[in-house]
């Protein structure tokens, strides 16, 4: 870890390169998925895919070389290492691309194209975005067919954007902090048929205990678990969990 260490590298912006080439360093698997959707062909991820809490990853000495050589560094702003990137290292602003991570399609499109413009891969990004949009629309249709859009659903704060993209209107959004007893009782009174918790920071277990007939599902934000790697992978995985519950 690099906490407390004064590191004085100057990371100069990359020279002009062919579209999509050059290493893109992503802070987490989620920002990496955005970079891949944008058309990046060489993406290095700092936080390991198997991490359950990727945003808590701390910069290690071995990461410095990756950052020095990177064409772009893609981050979201909530990662622990952001302070180190902004103060511990002297990184050129030209290399830093801050994006919004969510499963709201409009935000996905904006962030993916933001990266694609930097890489010169807009055409590839548009094709990938079409696939992502089609999967979300397909998921919405499946939710409607299953009648889940008519159910009472409790949704974790970090899964709200995904739920709404699939046509689910949360009766109550809980978290990200563990719910207090009063909140648990309020949610219990809804007699919800479905509870959508967040696999990376689950706090919905108490509702699982008090709403006996409600199905409880853990959804992903960050790709990595269950062999997911892309935004499309996560959309497919989460949709299956909501529809099939397996």
Average pLDDT over residues 1-22: 48
Q: What angle do CA 28, 105, 20 make, to 5 degrees?
A: 55
CATH, range 139-243: 3.40.50.1980
pLDDT of residue 11: 38
Q: Give the whole-angstrom CA distance, residue 155 versus residue 220.
A: 13
Note the CATH architecture for domain 10-120: 3-Layer(aba) Sandwich (3.40)
With beta carbons less than 8 A apart as the criterion, state whether 173 and 194 touch.
no
Residue 106 CB partners (closer than 8 Å, separation 6+): none
Q: Give the whole-angstrom CA distance, residue 74 versus residue 91.
A: 13
Residue 123: closest CA among 112, 132, 134: 112
pLDDT tens across 146-193, in order? 999 999 999 999 999 999 999 999 999 999 999 999 999 999 999 999
DSSP letter for 137, please.
H
- pTM to 2 decimals? 0.90
pLDDT of residue 21: 66
Rounded to the nearest integer, the mean pLDDT of the chain is 90
Of the two residues 198 and 90, the one the predictor is more confident about is: 198
pLDDT of residue 37: 98
Of the two residues 67 and 132, the one the predictor is more confident about is: 132
Q: Give the whole-angstrom CA distance, residue 108 versus residue 105.
A: 5
Name the β-bridge partners of 74.
26, 97
Domain 139-243 in the same topology as domain 10-120: yes
Q: Give the whole-angstrom CA distance, residue 235 versus residue 84.
A: 31
What ranges do the domains of the chain cover? Answer: 10-120, 139-243
Q: Annotate 177-203 with DSSP letters as a single string.
A: SPPPHHHHHHHHTTT-SEEEEETTS--
- Beta strands of the chain (E only): which ranges? 10-11, 24-26, 43-45, 72-75, 90-91, 96-98, 153-156, 172-174, 194-198, 215-219, 223-226
Q: Locate tokens 């809490």: which residue?
A: 53
pLDDT of residue 4: 40
pLDDT tens across 116-146, in order? 999 999 999 999 999 999 999 999 999 999 9
How much of the chain is in helix, strand and coil states, percent to nearest 5?
45, 15, 40
What does the block give as tokens for 53? 């809490």
Of the two residues 67 and 102, the one the predictor is more confident about is: 102
Of the two residues 228 and 5, the one the predictor is more confident about is: 228
Q: What angle do CA 133, 156, 132 make, to 5 degrees?
A: 10
Residue 92 backbone phi and psi in degrees, to 5: -60, 135
Of the two residues 240 and 89, the one the predictor is more confident about is: 240
Q: Give the whole-angstrom CA distance, residue 208 versus residue 197.
A: 10
pLDDT of residue 84: 80
Burial of 102-130, coded b for 16+ CB within 10 Å and e otherwise, reads bbbbeebbebbbbbbebbebeebbeebbe
């Amino acid at each position: 870890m690099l906490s407390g260490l004064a590191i004085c590298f100057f990371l100069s912006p990359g020279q002009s390169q062919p579209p999509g080439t050059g290493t893109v360093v992503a802070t987490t698997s989620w920002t990496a998925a955005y970079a891949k959707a944008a058309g990046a062909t060489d993406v290095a991820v700092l936080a390991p895919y198997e991490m359950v809490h990727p945003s808590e990853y701390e910069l290690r000495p071995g990461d410095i070389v990756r950052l020095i050589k990177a064409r772009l560094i893609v981050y979201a702003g909530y990662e622990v290492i952001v302070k180190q990137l902004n103060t511990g290292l002297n990184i050129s602003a030209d290399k830093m691309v801050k994006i919004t991570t969510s499963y709201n399609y409009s935000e996905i499109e904006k962030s993916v194209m933001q990266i694609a413009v930097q890489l010169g891969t807009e055409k590839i990004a548009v094709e990938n975005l079409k696939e992502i949009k089609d999967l979300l629309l397909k998921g919405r249709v499946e939710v409607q067919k299953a009648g889940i859009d008519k159910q009472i659903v409790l949704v974790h704060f970090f899964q709200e954007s995904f739920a709404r993209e699939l046509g689910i209107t949360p009766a109550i959004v809980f978290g990200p902090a563990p719910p207090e007893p009063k909140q648990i009782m309020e949610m219990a009174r809804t007699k919800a048929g479905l509870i959508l918790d967040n696999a990376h920071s689950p706090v919905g277990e108490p509702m699982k205990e008090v709403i006996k007939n409600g199905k409880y599902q853990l959804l992903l934000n960050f790709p990595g678990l269950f062999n997911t790697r892309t935004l499309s992978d996560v959309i497919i995985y989460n949709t299956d969990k909501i529809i099939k519950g397996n």
